[in-house]
């Protein structure tokens, strides 16, 4: 197992930065856009088709307990997971943004026009590995680390120090073989939430995000939590 992995500089939940990063990884189609709300009216302004939705949210004790309960239930009851789904563990502190982008592009390689290059090579080299071994492979993927470092320094806010352990986290939602999956590098396996279609991916994932925000939106001290953001990867037309 990869021990004492060096922390990366956190990636900002910023569509411009994430699009630049995706381009550097070889995606030739699509871009990231902000999702400003979860109501039907706000979702309708997001250009379709949407290939992935990424939620940034705070990690709290309440969330950890929620994951433990949900994971235990899945282990007890079982779930179906597409053999074509790519999921990896996050073993590098502060690398959740890159893991979220890998999950989003890696499960939509053809639709995102993923060309030969560092990400496609990484996916090919790790496809038959376990999620944990994929996470260890990322620790050794120098080109991916360099691409991450280059864009992590950009954005609208000053990037935190690499020595700062960030307590917000990215998870990705993708559709694969007729089902909606949540891909979280902190968890041992993907979560099969429900049937979906490419057309309904955004709407179905938004419902789960709304529930997650409701769960975490108020801390145990009664203080409202505002550290949430949503971005979508779309191959539809985007106004400049």
Catalytic center residues = 96, 169
Instruction: Supply φ then ψ for residue 3, to 5 degrees.
Output: -105, 145
CB 5 within 8 A of CB 127: no
3-state class of 99 per DSSP?
helix
Prior bond of 49 cis (ω within 30°): yes
Non-local (6+) Cβ contacts of 136 within 8 A are 1, 2, 91
Measured CA angle at 18 (ends 15, 19), to 5 deg: 80
Separation between Cα atoms, residue 219 and residue 176, nearest integer Å = 34
Separation between Cα atoms, residue 43 and residue 171, nearest integer Å = 19
**12-42: burial string, b at 16+ Cβ within 10 Å, e else:** bbbbbbbbbbbebbbbebbbbbebeebeeee
SS (H, E, C) 116-141: CCHHHHHHHHHCCCCHHHHHHHHHHC
């Amino acid at each position: 197992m990869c021990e004492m992995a060096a922390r990366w500089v956190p990636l900002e939940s910023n569509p411009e930065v994430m699009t630049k990063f995706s381009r550097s990884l070889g995606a030739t189609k699509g871009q990231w856009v902000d999702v400003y709300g979860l109501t039907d009216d706000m979702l309708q302004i997001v250009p379709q088709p949407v290939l992935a939705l990424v939620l940034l949210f705070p990690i709290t004790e309440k969330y950890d307990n929620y994951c433990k309960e949900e994971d235990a239930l899945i282990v007890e009851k079982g779930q179906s997971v597409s053999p074509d789904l790519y999921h990896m563990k996050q073993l590098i502190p502060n690398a959740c943004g890159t893991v979220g982008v890998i999950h989003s592009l890696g499960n939509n390689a053809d639709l995102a026009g993923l060309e030969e290059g560092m990400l496609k090579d990484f996916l090919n080299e790790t496809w038959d590995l376990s999620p944990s071994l994929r996470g260890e492979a990322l620790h050794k993927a120098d080109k991916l680390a360099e691409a991450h470092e280059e864009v992590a320094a950009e954005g609208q806010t000053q990037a935190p120090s690499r020595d700062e352990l960030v307590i917000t986290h990215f998870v990705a939602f993708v559709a694969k073989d007729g089902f909606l999956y949540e891909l979280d590098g902190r968890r041992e396996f993907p979560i099969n939430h429900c049937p979906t279609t490419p057309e309904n991916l955004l709407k179905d994932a938004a419902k789960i995000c709304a529930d997650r925000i409701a769960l975490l939106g108020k801390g145990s001290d009664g203080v409202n939590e505002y550290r949430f953001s949503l971005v979508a990867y779309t191959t539809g037309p985007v106004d400049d």
